[in-house]
Amino acid sequence: MAKLPTITDSRTAALFTLNGIPRFHEALPLALQHVVAMIVGCVTPAIIVAGAAGLSQADRVLLIQASLIAAALGTFLQLYPIGNPYGLHLGAGLPVIFGVSFAYVPTMQSLAGTYGISSILGAQICGGFCAILVGLTIRKIRRFFPPLVAGTVVFTIGLSLYPIAINYMAGGTGNPTYGQWQNWVVALFTLGVVTFFTHFGKGILRLASILAGILAGYILSLFLGMVQFNSVASAGYFQPPQILHFGLEFDISACVAISLLFIINSVQAIGDFSATTAGAMDRQPTSDELHGAIVGLGASNILGSFLGFLSTSTFGQNVGIVTTTKVINKATLALAGSIILIAGLLPKFSALLTTIPYAVLGGATVSVFASIAMTGIKLALSDGMHSRNTAIIGLSVAIGMGLSAAPETLLLFPDWVSEIFGKAPVVAASIIAISLNILLPKKQEDTL
């Protein structure tokens, strides 16, 4: 049972209620804690995708801005739902923070290099409608996505992110300094700082270990002459979202790949909402809350496609903060969302983020990607390490990752087959895991 601190002051006690109004000076540090925990993870996918798409410096800044604004608007929608709470509605009314999800990065990176940002945003509309469908039918289809399947998918996502981190540690593919010793020194130094604070830090330093690593790596990069501030000087002070700036294109292979990820990520989001209510509110989410959560996720991503927002979902690190502190107050999380929104409207802040060298990002995110993979394998094996489970995990990951490592094996197939299965390992792994979970008998109980 979740135990709340003993509080006698009613204004302080408001922090531990959904709808209370706490004091600003008490809510602010708790809100900043959420911002610190999510901001690096939120903007890094935009930096990766922008690099793969070959965007101009101005468009890179715009994509980073859009990521922060998307996180803020997604958070507001989940905190304060729209519609009838007992009918069709958008949002769960639960204390969560949204951000651009790493789950989509490998597929988005591939699509960005082949088709451009417009194809990602077009596919995102299809994915948003798929998420809405999941939300409307969640009671009936949830059985097709048990922890075994969801964990296998998350594990594959983590594995598919590793090459991105290593290439970034070396300086970023296509960078004239790729592979030079300065990049590796900075990357390994950044990784060392992240690892130190993760395991030996306390309080906010442990929570913000990735941010601490990035700051340390950034300072070292400054001394090594690896940082340029031209983009900051040329960036404006205020810029609202631009409608259809990147355009919309609908490619069938992109739509299939992104839509499947939206379905999987919708189920994963259910886990985050369940963890929030179980860990901080001592209950499971209601069917109405899950309905609103997933429908809201889909609707916000559809709207985001027109505004240039990349795909968003719940952020697990912020779920961890809520369950640890038991601070479920919506006003406090809305304050965090407001800070994120303000940051997203300031091009100079977004331009400053683009000056972070790839080596720093690689050193900081390789541990995040490792954590994603380990979270997946832990979830997949939560029911035990039986021969049936290991067969599903092993075959799904082997074929998914194998096809992406050797895409030339699909050259004789239609182009859309190569695009979906050869460049997005998560898609093949998801389909195989779902199919094997349905087909393989569940009577084997031999633990390996």
Is 271 a residue whose pLDDT tops 80?
no
Q: How far apart are CA 168 and CA 171, in angstroms?
A: 5
Cβ atoms of 201 and 209 within 8 Å: the answer is: yes
Residue 105 is predicted with a pLDDT of 82
Cα gap 413→238, rounded to integer Å: 48
Determine contact, residues 61/235, Cβ cutoff 8 Å.
yes
Cα 149 to the center of its chain, rounded Å: 18
1 has a pLDDT exceeding 50: no
Could you tell me which of 116, 123, 120 has the C-alpha nearest to residue 55? Answer: 116
pLDDT of residue 40: 72
- 301-317: b or e for each residue (b if 16 or more CB lie within 10 Å)? bbbbbbbbbbbbbbbbb
Q: What is the pLDDT of residue 79?
A: 94
Q: What average pLDDT does the segment 83-96 reach?
A: 80
Sign, Cα dihedral of 386, 388, 391, 396: negative
Q: Judge residue 228's burial from the number of C-beta atoms within 10 Å of its C-beta, 0-12 exposed, 13-18 middle, 19 or more buried.
A: exposed
**pLDDT confidence tier of residue 18, bands split at 50, 70 and 90:** confident
Q: Which amino acid is at 135?
A: G
- Given a cut of 70, whether residue 443 has pLDDT beyond it is no
CA dist 374 to 100, 146, 176, Å? 20, 17, 33
Mean pLDDT of the chain: 82
For residues 80 and 337, what is the distance between their CA atoms, to the nearest angstrom?
12
pLDDT given at position 248: 92
Share of the chain above pLDDT 70, in %: 91
Rounded CA separation 232/420 (Å): 37
- For residue 21, the SS3 value is coil
Q: How far apart are CA 255 and CA 285, in angstroms?
A: 30
**Binning pLDDT at 50, 70 and 90, where does residue 261 land?**
confident
Tokens of 64: 């980073």
Confidence grade of residue 86 (pLDDT, cut at 50, 70, 90): low
Residue 347 confidence (pLDDT): 81
Burial environment of residue 163 by CB neighbours within 10 A (0 to 12, 13 to 18, 19 or more)? middle
Residues in the chain: 448
133-163 pLDDT, tens digit each: 998 888 777 777 778 887 887 788 778 878 8
Question: Domain coordinates of the chain in residue numbers?
Answer: 15-439
pLDDT in tens, 113-123: 888 899 999 99
pLDDT of 156 reads: 82
Residue 395: helix, strand or coil by DSSP?
Answer: helix
pLDDT band at 13; cut points 50, 70, 90:
confident
Give the pLDDT confidence score for residue 352 in this predicted structure. Answer: 78
In this prediction, residues 304-311 reach a mean pLDDT of 90
Report which of residues 353 and 294 the model is more confident about. 294
